[in-house]
Amino acid sequence: MAHETELIRVLPDSELARLLDAAARAPLLLEKEGVLYRVSRVEPDHPVVAYDPEAVRAALRASVGLVTPADAERLKAAIYRAREEGTRPE
Can you list the pairs that 12-20 forms with residues at least 24 positions away whose Cβ atoms lie under 8 Å?
none
- Cβ contact 27:39 at 8 Å: yes
Domain boundaries, the chain: 15-85
SS3 76: helix
pLDDT tens digit sequence for 7-21: 889 999 999 999 999
What pTM did the predictor assign? 0.46
- Cβ contact 16:10 at 8 Å: yes
- Cβ contact 18:37 at 8 Å: no
pLDDT tens digit sequence for 31-62: 999 999 999 888 888 877 778 889 889 999 99
Find the distance separating the first CA and the last CA of the chain, reported in whole Å. 41
